[in-house]
Amino acid sequence: MKGNGKLKLLWLHGMRAYLRLALFFYYKKIECNYEKPLTPNQPTLFLGNHQNGLMDPLLMATKKGQFSYFLTRASVFQRPWISKFLKSLMMLPVYRVRDGWDSLSNNKAIFKTCSQLLYENSAIMLFPEGSHNIKRQVRTLSKGFTRIIAETLTEHPDIEINLVPVGFNYRRPDEFADHVILNFGKPLPSKNYKAPHSHASVLKLKQDVFDALTKLTTHVDGDDYYAQLQKLEDLNADFLKPEAVNQCVATQFEDCQVELKQKKNPIKVVAKMGLCISLFLPYAIWKLIIESKIKEPEFTSTFRFAVVISLVPIFMLVTAVILWFNVGVLYALLYLSLVIVLDLLAVKL
């Protein structure tokens, strides 16, 4: 068992290191802000808004010190080999109504597992909106996360769970070389919810988490969402500053920070073109085959990143090997160096 535990830990550290490297070359900048320092090895439930498909949990998994379990929609676990892979990354399936009414009963075992994990001082990440959407607003929260808290407090009355709201903020969530900020709010102590099964306590818990998230990320509410969003776009609002953007909306666009639009950097433009040419095959597969089949915009970045961590390194290695055997190792190293430099210029400038 100890040997298996060490192998699992090695696997997790290896995957985290690889994803961190890939995210470094994918995003212009990734930042984390903490209202209060996180305390490791305590029962913690991270509760985040969900805008950007699989990128949200990946960012969370790579930027936080303690390994976390993730509740993930059950539909992605359908193929046995995918299920085994996802579970090796500490992902647990959670079922929704769209998965079928009969499948909802499976959540009882998942919630019980979560309760035990919290009792063992583990951390769990979930998205209480219950779905993903690229819109810049916090949607109505489902009550699934309240059931996990209620069951844990019922089974272990003396446990103190840190409920940490997390606001995910993207400048342009579906674009390549985006800038993202994760805002970790002040933990909500579970002792504030003494009667976890009561209707009043569930409503208070959902409201407290909702209110916290609307302060940690941009929240554009109302029936005229797209009109308000267009006004923010016209003002070139900085969506990495949710407090300022929310203030702008709350004052009917009277108190707004107007940002100057940045001109395109010609070096960045040329570098991006060169990067596409040097990675012509993965780029062609992405543009001609994959991108057009994406039906939900919040998954654009997810599938693009999948190409980055799979097809791109394979293509680079194959190309380098071909150059090595045909014209020499120096040309192979020059090619690899060129791709890295072009990526840094295209992404970081």
Q: Find, among 162, 169, 190, 121, the residue nearest to 38 by Cα.
A: 162
pLDDT, residue 1, reads 44
Element (H, E) at 266: helix 266-278
**78-87, Cβ contacts within 8 angstroms, sequence gap of 24 or more:** none
Give the other-Cβ count within 10 Å of 56's Cβ: 26
Query: What angle is formed at CA 329 by the lines to CA 325 and CA 333, rounded to 5 degrees?
Result: 125
Nearest to 215, CA basis, from 192, 181, 183, 189: 183
Give the per-residue pLDDT at 100. 59
Beta strand 162-170 with 179-184: parallel, antiparallel or unpaired? antiparallel
The answer to whether 336 touches 320, Cβ cutoff 8 Å, is yes
Q: Which residues of the chain have pLDDT under 50?
A: 1
Q: What is the dotted CATH code of the domain comprising 27-217?
A: 3.40.1130.10
pLDDT tens, 25-42?
Answer: 999 999 999 999 888 889
What digits encode the pLDDT tens for the residues 53-77? 889 999 998 876 778 999 887 777 7
- Domains of the chain: which residue ranges? 27-217, 266-348
Structural tokens at position 291: 């991108």
pLDDT at 325: 96
Provide the phi-psi class of 344: left if phi over 0, else alpha when psi is between -120 and 50, else beta: alpha
User: Helix, strand or coil for residue 31?
Assistant: strand
The pTM (predicted TM-score) of the whole model is: 0.90
Phi, then psi, of 48 in degrees rounded to 5: -120, 155
CB crowding 28-49: b at 16 or more within 10 Å, else e: eebeeeeeeebeeebbbbbbbb
Residue type present at position 77: F
Measured distance CA(345)–CA(266) in Å, rounded: 11
Phi, psi of 324 (to 5 degrees): -60, -50
